[in-house]
Amino acid sequence: MTFQQPAAETLPRHPVIIGGAFEAQGGGEVLAHVYPGTATVTRELRMASPADVDRAVAAARAAFPAWRALAGDKRRDLMFKLAAVIEAQAQEMSPVLTAENGAIILAGGHMSSDAAQKFRYYGGWADKIEGRTVATWGGPAHDYVSYEPFGVVGAIVPWNGPLFAATMVLAPALAAGNCIVLKAPDLAPYSVMRLVELIHQAGFPPGVVNLVTGGAEVGAAMVSHPGVDKIEFIGSGATAKKILANAARTLKPVGLELGGKSAVLVFADADLQAAAKRGLSGAVSANGQGCVNGTRLLVERAIYEPYLQMLAAMAGHIKVGDPFAMDTIMGPVISETSLVRIAGMVERGVAAGGRLVTGGGRLGGDHGEGYFLPITVLADVDPGSEIARQEVFGPVLVVTPFDSEEEAVALANDSDYGLGAYVHTTNLARAHRVAGQMQAGQVQVNGAGEAMTPCVPFGGMKYSGHGRLGGVEGLREFQQVRNVWVNLQS
């Protein structure tokens, strides 16, 4: 069986969009983009250069005064129109999403719907940005607080979910009145390129959203640029450290949504089948490459072996295959480098005492040309081992037993990361008690991703970053606070 190839003519062709001008090439390096389903090149793109970043920042700064002054209802209407444009283009967007990083075609419609919902949700905030008055003392005075946009926001988004991440930043930043310089990831540039095309199709003024596609050099130029007022970064902790050091030169604020090693706590009173299905999603969602995926499973000893058997049985029914096929549930990882790294971590995990329940090494046969790994479950994993503590970013679950609620909480919190946590129990008191002790930015009870909607805040603790995207907290992330005190005696 031959896996389908991306159709080059369906992919966007403008790696640089500055001031409303769609440019067929930037001034930087040539990228040969590789489709991970077959390890074939989709297209060569000349990416942006630091000089292109300069032009993009200048365009955003020029557009900012008018965009900031635009009445809230006008910004609202533009964002609502963009949501409608995205929904109308959902069918065309799906193969773009698959071509860039191997995301399954079945998820494409959901990704477009989610993007539209973000612009619709934050469009609803655009005409409701208010301040407040403050009761003061020490003499007659009128004191008030206003919430102002930063100006130009530099957004750097990752390859594993570029459309999801870009819209999570752009929607609140635009609603708050900021202009944008957006960097598309070099490993997966196409959906962000298409998004910026659709933003212009919806009628946004030139320069409000500008696109530069590129790698680390382009990102560094954006972070250090004195004309960028804030950076919002979604990606790895290692890159975040470099960004923070770079941003310190201009003292610009940086929002960080980073990686995770999210714990899944399964208590003996849980609905076992539902908990296993949701536990398995940590290996399946985004082909196992989701930052908030629950990949560290902690299971009460009384149900430990039955839970493992159920995981293995369910994993056997997950079709890993051609991302363009409608019956495929899981696709490839992003690259050969990633595949080799993940396989090495699994090998070391087994050598350290992990029991291989299902899965293992690279898939061959029809899968052999692409970067495919099976769902892999390692049981009896030492909580202190590499594979239990480091982010794998692949379709791998590690499982460890516990004997008490106190032990489960201690194991869950014994991590450098703090992005997500998942609690499975039918005991309502326990659900609230345990959720309240989780050192994680988002806790889901009897869930596995359902909470990732535009109306709720999302972000991490500890090594998983700081700041929040989503909800009103996401709007505040892109606003500065101004206080005005007026002496009423003069």
Catalytic residue among 100, 257, 300, 477: 257
Catalytic residue among 100, 197, 232, 291: 291
Task: Supply 230's token pair.
Answer: 């804030």
Alpha helix positions (H), 255-319: 272-284, 304-315
CB burial of residue 9 (10 Å; 0-12, 13-18, 19+): exposed
Residue carrying the six token digits 């607080």: 145
- What's the Cα-to-Cα distance from 110 to each of 195, 335, 442, 453, 454, rounded to whole Å? 15, 24, 21, 12, 13
What distance in Å separates the CA atoms of residue 470 and residue 415, rounded to the nearest whole number?
24
Q: Which residues contact 224 (CB under 8 A, 6 or more apart)?
A: 246, 247, 249, 250
User: φ, ψ for residue 57 (rounded to 5)?
Assistant: -65, -40
Establish whether 257 is a catalytic residue: yes
Alpha helix positions (H), 89-206: 90-101, 108-126, 162-175, 190-201
Q: What are the residues facing 469 on neighbouring strands?
A: 458
Half-sphere exposure of 408 (CA within 13 A, CB side): 28
- Distance, C-alpha 436 to centroid of its chain: 24
Establish whether 291 is a catalytic residue: yes
- What's the Cα-to-Cα distance from 483 to each of 97, 107, 143, 486, rounded to whole Å? 44, 45, 7, 10
Cβ atoms of 431 and 270 within 8 Å: the answer is no
Is residue 487 left, alpha or beta, with left meaning phi > 0 and alpha meaning psi from -120 to 50?
beta
- Distance, C-alpha 426 to centroid of its chain: 30
What is the Cα gyration radius of the chain?
23
Residue carrying the six token digits 């032990």: 407
Q: In what order do the strands lie in the sheet with 132-134?
A: 132-134, 141-149, 479-487
Q: Vertex 265, ends 259 and 269: CA angle to 5°?
A: 160
What distance in Å separates the CA atoms of residue 122 and residue 125, rounded to the nearest whole number?
5
Sign of the dihedral through C-alpha 78, 82, 83, 88: positive
Element (H, E) at 83: helix 72-88
Active site residues: 257, 291
